[in-house]
């Protein structure tokens, strides 16, 4: 039997081979792990041209139509998650590539969101860095979130999950999104707000909508201008949902107290990006889903997916 080549992409933490049992498919597959992001689409196509199977981690490496055209040997593409906006699913179908996904055991983004809210309001990371640097007096004065208003943009599964701990901390929670109803807010136990009300009254605003053509640039300059000068913005959803240029200018001008951003239009965030120079912006490198439990689940299901495909019984098909 001819052995096929499998590429595991963007394994920045070098975990893929240790958290899942790849021996289940190694009798049929030669595995190559790519630990670094590709410099360009052309570099990715060149590196992956001889692979029949590719395992992709989230949207780290895009697969537009041109990519499928450049990968004539590709037969199976497995992405973590059951949705990946960086993959042209119609192109996969047109090139007869079987596209499969993996299920999330849980979504750890909600706890990260609360962690970023606590960092913005209590400066835990900043004071930790100062302590390690030898400073012995605190520099930052925190604010309490109890009694403050959290504005949730998007009250789906994740937005609702964030509302729970926020209420446990004593926050007043309100929500808005283009299709949100008062009934859904009542079901979750939060207040329903208009767009204008949420951005003008919330002390902290957190983004939890899915990236799509409709949500790209959803939070723009006008929304940021409505925010109070003492308010904060948190984005753990997707970078393009917030107008990054508008956010940059808002923070540079000090028109809001600060922001915490885990997701960016270009990832990894370029080392010369102006975001890195702002002291009122907390930056994390897309940590929302980065937990050991998440990687165990995704890579184990990728092994299962490859084995099932060899048996002619693909699981969790997307296209």
Rg for the chain, CA atoms, rounded: 21
| 305 token code pair | 């997916």
By three-state DSSP, how is residue 244 classified?
Answer: helix
Please check whether residue 161 is in contact with residue 174, taking contact to mean a CB–CB distance below 8 angstroms.
no
**Strand order across the 191-192 sheet:** 191-192, 172-176, 149-153, 204-207, 232-235, 258-261, 281-283
| 289 token code pair | 């889903």
Euclidean distance between CA atoms 126 and 119, whole angstroms:
8
For residue 75, the tally of other CB atoms under 10 A from its CB is 15
Residue from 238, 244, 298, 304 carrying the catalytic annotation:
238
Residue from 5, 216, 267, 316 carrying the catalytic annotation:
267
Residue from 58, 208, 286, 298 carrying the catalytic annotation:
286
For the question of residue 95 being annotated catalytic, the response is: no
Q: Which residue has the tokens 């520099």?
A: 139
- List of residues 6+ apart from 148 with CB closer than 8 A: 171, 172, 203, 204
For the question of residue 132 being annotated catalytic, the response is: no
Phi, psi of 218, rounded to the nearest 5 degrees: -55, -45
Euclidean distance between CA atoms 275 and 280, whole angstroms:
10
For the question of residue 293 being annotated catalytic, the response is: no
Mind telling me the catalytic residues? Answer: 238, 267, 286
């Amino acid at each position: 039997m001819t052995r096929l080549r499998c590429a595991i992409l963007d394994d920045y933490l070098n975990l893929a081979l240790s958290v899942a049992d790849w021996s289940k498919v190694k009798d049929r597959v030669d595995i190559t792990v790519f630990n670094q992001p590709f410099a360009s689409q052309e570099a990715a196509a060149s590196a992956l041209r001889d692979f029949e199977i590719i395992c992709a981690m989230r949207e780290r490496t895009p697969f537009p139509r041109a990519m499928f055209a450049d990968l004539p040997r590709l037969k199976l593409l497995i992405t973590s998650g059951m949705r990946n906006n960086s993959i042209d699913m119609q192109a996969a179908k047109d090139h007869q590539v079987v596209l499969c996904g993996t299920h999330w055991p849980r979504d750890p983004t909600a706890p990260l969101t609360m962690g970023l809210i606590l960092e913005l309001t209590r400066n835990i990371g900043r004071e930790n860095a100062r302590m390690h640097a030898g400073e012995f007096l605190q520099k930052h004065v925190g604010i309490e979130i109890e009694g403050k208003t959290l504005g949730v943009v998007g009250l789906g599964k994740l937005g609702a999950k964030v509302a729970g701990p926020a209420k446990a901390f004593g926050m007043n929670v309100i929500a808005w999104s283009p299709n949100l109803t008062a009934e859904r807010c009542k079901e979750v136990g939060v207040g329903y707000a208009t767009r204008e009300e949420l951005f003008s009254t919330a002390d902290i605003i957190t983004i939890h909508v899915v990236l799509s053509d409709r949500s790209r640039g959803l939070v723009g300059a006008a929304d940021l201008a409505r925010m109070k000068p003492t308010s904060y913005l948190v984005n753990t959803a997707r970078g393009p949902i917030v107008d990054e240029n508008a956010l940059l200018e808002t923070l540079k001008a000090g028109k809001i107290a600060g922001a915490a951003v885990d997701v960016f239009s270009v990832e990894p965030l370029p080392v010369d990006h102006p975001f890195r120079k702002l002291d009122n912006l907390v930056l994390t490198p897309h940590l929302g889903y980065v937990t050991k439990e998440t990687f165990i689940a995704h890579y184990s299901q990728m092994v299962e997916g490859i084995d099932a495909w060899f048996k002619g019984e693909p699981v969790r098909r997307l296209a």
